[in-house]
Structure formats: structure tokens, C-alpha cells
Structure 1
Amino acid sequence: MDPKLEAELTAHDVSDEKFVDALFRHILRRPPDEEARVRALAKLSEGTLSRATLIQELTTSEESARVRELDDAVALGLGARARSERICWLQASAGTDERVVEIPWVLSRLRASGRVLEVGYAFAETAYLGALLRSGVELVGVDLATRDVEGMEAVAADVRTLPFPERSFDQVLLVSTLEHIGADNTVYGLDAESDGDARVEALRELKRVLRTDGSLLVTVPLGEPGDHGWFRQEDERGWNELFARADFFVEESEAYELRDDGWHAAPAFRPEGVRYGERGPAASAA
């Protein structure tokens, strides 16, 4: 059979129901919500919407743009990891949040094997969590909140009092989580706190469960120091003081700043005037 004709027939082999469900999962990485599913099926049935147009609608949506941002970040990080390359000097588009630089930075430094603890997994980006699950490490997640994650040991616990023996992990991941510890986390359905020492207590507890040759990968919002209620922002000096108080040696650090033309490495970063949410949807630097 003519290859193009075969492809055309194959494209219509499945029912509209299966097509819509699969399309949402592939393009938006989620099942369709009921309203969108009913609308799509009705229009496909009456002929006022084609499958090609539905594909276009989904791929040009803002939600799809976010999926692409995170997918690109994951691909970049895992690709570098496969080459044993610790990527630096990342760049990303304007109008994006700090995940687009945090995720590839962390994934490129993810161990090739071993036992890895992901702190704050319950609210982690799905693309990032999926990358960890595909990475081949023995993954354990800890959080005060819960999330159904197949393929990972999930533990409900306070990071300040972990239920693990000493030296249990080869690596700990703390992606945009440290700043929330001891803060008002009611936005996440958790209790409100205002404990200024909580972050140091958490770091000391993570030091306890890390093996002597283990590593801690941390990303945090950067800029003018300030208490925002649900998180605390520090400048580089402030964060480094916290690590020092917990007896961590900072082997490597890199600052990124969101400018008018996007995210760039900022080796001479100055925190003055760099405030959360003023340059983009979230942190102005990380």
C-alpha cells in the first residue's frame, strides 16, 4: 500500500474516545478533564472539529508551552548526565520560572546509581519526578504531604526528624524546598509555622542520613533577603551561612538571574533590588 495512504488510514484506526484520551496524555501529559473531553468528542462527532485541528489546539495552548519548557529542561539535564557532564552557564527564555534552570542543573548532577532521597516530592514538578523515576537510582521520597507515586518508596515525615538510620543515602535532592521549611505552608495544605531555625535543623538532619562520600543538591530562590510568609529568600551569603552552620562544605554553586531576555548565569550576582515575583512568575534569581 502507498505509505501515505497507509498512514492516513492508521490515523483513523482508533475511536474518537481513545484518540482524545491519548492526545491529552501525549501533548499535555495528563488525562483530559471531563468538560474538555465532552466538548472534543461532541465536535468530532458532528464534524465541526477535525483531529488535526484538535492537535493544533492542544499544541499551541499555554499548557502545552509549559510542558515543552519542562520537557526541554529534563532532556537537557538527563542528556548531560548520560555524558557525565555537569552543565553550567544555562540559558532559558524570559517569562519562565526558575524550574527551567534548576531541573537541568540538578539532573545533570544526579548520581548514576545508588540510594537517593528526594525531599518535598509531593509538590515536585511531574516532569522532574518522572525523570527521577526513569533514572535508574533507588528513589525515596519524603514529605509532610503525600502523593501516589508508583516506583518510589514514599515516606510521610518531617525532614527535621527523618525515620532513617545514619548514612542511609548516597545523595539528597532539595529542589526549591529548603526555603519553605519552617514557614507558613498552609498554601500546600500543611500547618503554618514561623521557625527561623528549621532550615538549619533540616540541613543537619540531612547531613546525618547522608553517607560520608554523599552529596546534597540544593536549589533556592536568590535575591534580597526577606520573609515572604510561605518561604524565606536569602542572598548568597545568607544561604552559605546556613550550609556552614549545618557543617556542609559547598563544593559548587552557581547563581542564575532572570533578565529581560531570559535566564542567564550570574557569576557577579548582586542581590540588591532582586525581589521574588517582580521579573517573572516566581523567583527573579536562583
Structure 2
Amino acid sequence: MRLWPTRRPVLTDRFPPPEVPFTEAYGATHVAFLQAMLADEERLGILRGGKRLPRGYGVALDERVVEFPWLLAQQPRGRVLDAGSVLNHPHVLDAFLPVIDTLTIATLVTEPHTFPERGVTYVESDLRTMPFDDDAFDTVICASTVEHIGMDNTMYGSDEPRADDPPAEQRRAIAELLRVTAPGGRVFLTVPFGLREDHGWFRQLNHEDLVDLLSEVPPDRRTVEIFGYDAKGWQRRRAGEVAGHAYRDVHADPRPVADRAAAARAVACITISA
């Protein structure tokens, strides 16, 4: 009797892809997926070791399902600054707070839900002019934030007009992030990557834009990892493989898309050594 091999499990069996992004059902799947990934040391080791992601990783889920586990896999430590308030979610804080000493969140406008009772400090600040001393932090995290600097941030509660030269403003922010990072510390930065696109409220960077953004950082002090999305989920990619990837902006066009992308179709994850 011939025995057929058992089908290899995929993550979509455990986390069925939501049909519509940013609905209540989508949010529930997103939280459950991240809780599982952030608690799974084997999968964090895959991200830390540069290996391929599991089959079906994050189908129909946005780039946060890559960014948060990637950030935790880099083993942030000590005094941590979250420049942009991306960590300000209970299930994300559950994973990060036990491995660091302190967490300060800097953002233009403090969000309605805050967690000072968990020891988190909140500061309202423009990331180009932060009120911190030099070398104040051991780890600085700026995930999917710098691409908004100098753009139209009305939806985030800012009435400041769009800058004449957003790329220059974003370079200013990088310099400021490095200023507040102590020697021996690290900056972790993520940005949407692929086609050069201007969505008004943010811009997606291509390879040349990324080189320009990091122009003041010596090459030996930075590493870049690229993750790309398709209908099979998220996977490590080379920059050239995702150069034609467009961002799915559901604010501008909510119609369904064949690959079920929720937002970015590629993200660059950058480590800068101070």
C-alpha cells in the first residue's frame, strides 16, 4: 500500500486570511497572529538568523506582522525610545517590556490609549527636534514612521503644512535619532519599500530614496533586510525582486485586490549602529 506524505502545515491553516483589511475580524486575526509570533522563540530565531519565513506567513496581513517580530528578534535592550508610538498596543508591550529596562514613546500627538501604569513614559515631540539629551537611549525604534515626516499629517492630528522638501526633513529625523542613541546602541528603522510613490500622507521609498535617507550613515554601520509580500504571504527578498511593488492604499481605493495585500507589499528593515 502506498503511503502519501502528509501535507506540510502552513500558517494560513491556523490563521485564516481575513477577507477585508482593517475590519474587526481583520484586527482579531492580526492580534492573534502577532501574539503567537512574538511568543515563538523559534520563529524569532528565524528572523534573527536571516532564514526564510514559514510558508503562508502573514497572508492578507499588513507589514506590522513582519516589523514587530523582526524588532523583537533584534533583542532591543536597556533604555528604549519608540519614536513614532508603534509599540503602543497591549499585546505588543506584553512582548517588549519584559526584555528592556525602560520605554519612552515620542509622538506628535499622544494616542487616546496609554499605559503609564506599565511604566511607559509618553512625550509629545516632533522627531526632528526631540527634547532628549545626547546619548539618552540604548535602543531607538522608529518603525513605519519616518516616511510620514514632512508630509501631510492631518490624520495624525497635526496642522503643520507639508514641507517643501520631505526627504530633507526625513534625513533630519535620522540625524536626531542617532543623536539620542548612546555609543554602542542601535537604531532600528523600517520603511515601506518598492516603487517610489507619494501618497500625500506618506511616501514609499525606492532603492535610491533609501540610499538618500541613509546618506549620512557610513555603510559599515548599517544593514538592510528586505521583506516582500505576495499572495503566498511575506518572505525575505532581494531589493531588486520588490522594486516594482506598489503600496495598497485602502484609504484611496478600498476595492479588493487579487493578492489580498493590506498595505505595503515590501518593507525595508534597517539596523544602524551608533
Work out whether the TM-score is over 0.5. yes
Amino acid paired to 2:124: A
Distance 2:140 2:247 in 1: 26
Aligned length in residues = 225
Matched position secondary structure for 2:81: strand
Distance 2:232 2:226 in 1: 16
Amino acid paired to 2:99: S
- Give the equivalent residue in structure 2 for 1:24: none
Q: CA deviation at 1:179?
A: 0.8
Distance 1:126 1:282, change over 3 A: farther
- Give the equivalent residue in structure 2 for 1:39: none
Could you tell me whether the CA contact under 8 Å between 1:122 and 1:143 is conserved in 2? Answer: no
Matched position secondary structure for 2:222: coil
- Give the equivalent residue in structure 2 for 1:145: 109
Question: What stretches of structure 2 of length at least 5 have no aligned partner?
Answer: 1-23, 249-256, 268-274
Distance 1:84 1:194 in 2: 36
- Give the equivalent residue in structure 1 for 2:66: 101
How do 1:61-80 and structure 2 match up within 5 A?
61-76=25-40, 80=44
Q: CA deviation at 1:137?
A: 2.4
Distance 1:272 1:177, change over 3 A: same
Distance 1:167 1:63, change over 3 A: closer
Amino acid paired to 1:169: F
Distance 2:85 2:200 in 1: 21
Query: Of the candidates 257, 267, 270, which is equivalent to residue 228 of structure 2?
Result: 257
Distance 1:245 1:191, change over 3 A: farther
Q: Which has the higher helix share?
A: 1
Q: Which has the higher strand share?
A: 2
Larger RCO (CA under 8 A, 6+ residues apart): 2
Q: CA deviation at 1:192?
A: 4.5
Q: CA deviation at 1:125?
A: 4.4
Query: Of the candidates 136, 150, 153, which is equivalent to residue 182 of structure 1?
Result: 150
- Give the equivalent residue in structure 2 for 1:215: 186
Q: CA deviation at 1:239?
A: 1.2
- Give the equivalent residue in structure 2 for 1:158: 126
**Sequence identity (%):** 32
- Give the equivalent residue in structure 2 for 1:281: 262
- Give the equivalent residue in structure 1 for 2:206: 235
Question: What stretches of structure 1 of length at least 5 have no aligned partner?
Answer: 1-59
2:240 aligned with 1:269, yes or no? yes
Distance 1:247 1:124 in 2: 31
Query: Of the candidates 86, 94, 98, which is equivalent to residue 130 of structure 1?
Result: 94
Distance 2:35 2:227 in 1: 20
Could you tell me whether the CA contact under 8 Å between 1:223 and 1:275 is conserved in 2? Answer: yes
TM-score by length of 1: 0.70
Higher CA-based Rg: 1
Superposed CA offset, 1:216-261 (max 9, x none): 1011101111211111111133213211235675532211111121
Distance 1:165 1:256, change over 3 A: same
